[in-house]
Chains A and B, each alone.
Chain A
Amino acid sequence: MSVTEYISIAIGAILINNFIFSQFLGCCPFLGCSSKVETASGMGLAVVFVMGLASAICYVVNEFILVPLGLAFLKTLAFILVIAALVQFVEMFLKKAVPSLYSALGIYLPLITTNCAVLGVVLLNVQNGYDFLGSVIYGITGGIGFLVAIVLFASVRERIQFSDYPECFEGFPICLISAGLVALAFMGFSGMKIF
């Protein structure tokens, strides 16, 4: 794959095919963990890290273990186990290295395991036939796309608290509606030419 292809993968993952706003991957933590910009950015960074690492490891697992042995049908199972182990590792690392971030992320850290963006990115890597570097770039930039989306949205949400809306929209519904409006803004990137 050429450099332009890598660049187009990166820009596509961050802006045009943003994981949250156009592929709907990772909505649960996106909606659940975005009430404060600080928590949101912590969560986003953890996701960038896990997605990059997961893409690299899963590429190796798929290419050198599953495909040669003809076990491609086991990929969902293998990938989710790899991700679960990885998240455990990130959790232990954060607990030791950045305890403040660890306590801020609270229950959402183990939930990265069930973040469909992470499993989604490794499955899409296989589906799109990316090579090793391509997979890692897609993973990291997909994570950055998630980070951008969640931080932007958290800042929107901080303002919603002070605004006036119908009572029945309290809580979740108004979040969804504003997420929809942010997604609408992201649609503006869809016509962008890459190469």
Chain B
Amino acid sequence: MKDILKLTLVLFLICAIVAGVLGAVDLITRDRIEAYQTAKSNAAKAAVMPVDVQEGEQPYENVELKDLGIDTTINANGQKIKILSVSRAANGAGYVVETEFSGAQGTLVMMVGVDPELRCTGISITQHSETSGLGANAASTAEVGVNFRSQFIGVDQTVQLKKAGGEIDALSGATITSRSVTNAASAAIRFVEALQSAN
């Protein structure tokens, strides 16, 4: 019995010391980690909707989706698109919608900028696991990727691939990826429409 007490005490003591040290490290690093996370998500949003603000001001304001009562899963041309977050640009230039959907290989996360006239201001893929050289071109910084994404500037919610009678040229060899990206852009615009009419 005495042994067990002693063992428990030693283990508890070590855990307490380690937890204390970790608490201290967390205090030091927490601000930096948070600042980095914000900077990163702001950079991704700025890629689709640049906003100039004074230093110290936040360029984007997060819209709380839970209180709105809008369905965050949107069915676009038969594909389910999940809306992860929406933020409003501080200068009233529109909204940045973060969407999640499945592509040809795995899940993609994409930022879509939408202006108040319900036109797309640009798309940027922040996460993907598409085939390199084919679907991955949708996210690449090479010419083919930039050209593909720039097609989305100015489109509205009826956006479609050329194969389906629309205006977007699919990436060669990556129709599935191109179609899901197009569907996500359309879903994001429709979500903003619902958001505006709810307000």
Binding site for A on B (CB under 8 A): 15, 18-19, 22-23, 25-26, 80, 102, 104-106
> A165-191 toward B: CB 8 Å interface, digit per residue (1/0)?
000000000000000000000000011
Contact (Cβ within 8 A) A74 B22: yes
Residue of A nearest to B80 (CB): A195
Q: Is the C-beta of A194 less than 8 angstroms from some C-beta in chain B? A: yes
| Interface of A, helix, strand, loop or mixed by DSSP | helix
How many CB-defined contacts (below 8 Å) exist between A and B?
19
Given A191-B104, A194-B102, answer yes or no on A77-B18 (Cβ-Cβ < 8 Å).
yes
A73 close to chain B: CB less than 8 A? yes
Residues of A within 8 A of B22 (CB): 73-74, 77
CA distance A191 to B105 in the complex (A): 5
Q: What is the bound-complex CA distance between A164 and B197, given in angstroms?
A: 72
Measured CA separation A136–B17 after assembly (Å)? 32
Question: Using Cβ atoms and an 8 Å threshold, which residues of chain B touch A77?
Answer: 15, 18-19, 22
Nearest chain B residue, comparing its CB with the CB of A76: B22
Whether a CB of chain B sits under 8 angstroms from the CB of A193 is yes
Give me the 8 closest cross-chain CB pairs, A-B, nearest first: A73-B26, A73-B22, A190-B105, A74-B22, A74-B19, A191-B105, A194-B102, A195-B80
From A74, A81, A190, A193, B102 is in contact (CB under 8 Å) with A193
Contact in complex: B105, A195 (CB < 8 Å): no
Dominant SS among interface residues on chain B: helix
Complex CA–CA separation, A47 to B25 (angstroms): 34
Q: Residues of A at under 8 Å CB distance from B?
A: 16, 73-74, 77, 81, 190-191, 193-195
Distance between B166 CB and nearest chain A CB, rounded to angstroms: 22
Q: Which residue of A lies closest to B79 (CB)?
A: A195
A16 to B80, CA, bound (A): 20
Provide 18 A-B residue pairs closer than 8 Å at the C-beta atoms, listed in order of the A residue.
A16-B106, A73-B22, A73-B23, A73-B25, A73-B26, A74-B19, A74-B22, A77-B15, A77-B18, A77-B19, A77-B22, A81-B15, A190-B105, A191-B104, A191-B105, A193-B102, A195-B80, A195-B102
B36 → chain A closest CB, angstroms: 15
Which single residue of chain B is at the shortest CB-CB distance from A81? Answer: B15
Bound together, the chains give a CA A193 to CA B105 distance in angstroms of 8
How far apart are the CA atoms of A195 and B80 in the complex, in Å?
8
Q: Contacts of A191 on B, CB cut-off 8 Å?
A: 104-105
Interchain CA distance A74-B102 in the complex, whole Å: 33
In the complex, A16→B22 CA distance in Å?
36
- Closest A residue to B18 by CB, please name it: A77
State the CA gap A136–B183 with chains docked (Å): 31
Q: Which residues of B contact A193 (CB under 8 A)?
A: 102
Q: How far is the CB of A129 from chain B (nearest CB, A)?
A: 10
Q: How far is the CA of A73 from the CA of B106 in the complex (A)?
A: 29
A129 and B19 CA atoms in complex are apart in Å by: 24
Min Cβ gap A76→B in Å is 9
| CB-nearest residue of chain B to A16 | B106
Give Cα A182–Cα B18 distance, bound, in whole angstroms: 42
CA distance A74 to B22 in the complex (A): 7
Q: Which residues of A contact B15 (CB under 8 A)?
A: 77, 81
Q: What is the CB-to-nearest-CB distance from B197 to chain A, in angstroms, rounded to a whole number? A: 25
Chain A residues near B18: list those with CB within 8 A: 77
CB neighbours of B19 from chain A (8 A): 74, 77
Residue in A73, A74, A190 with the greatest tally of chain B CB atoms within 10 Å: A73
- Report the separation of the CA atoms of residues A5 and B19 in the bound assembly, to the nearest whole angstrom: 36
Query: Cα distance A57–B102 when bound, in Å?
Result: 30
Least Cβ–Cβ distance between A138 and chain B, in angstroms: 14
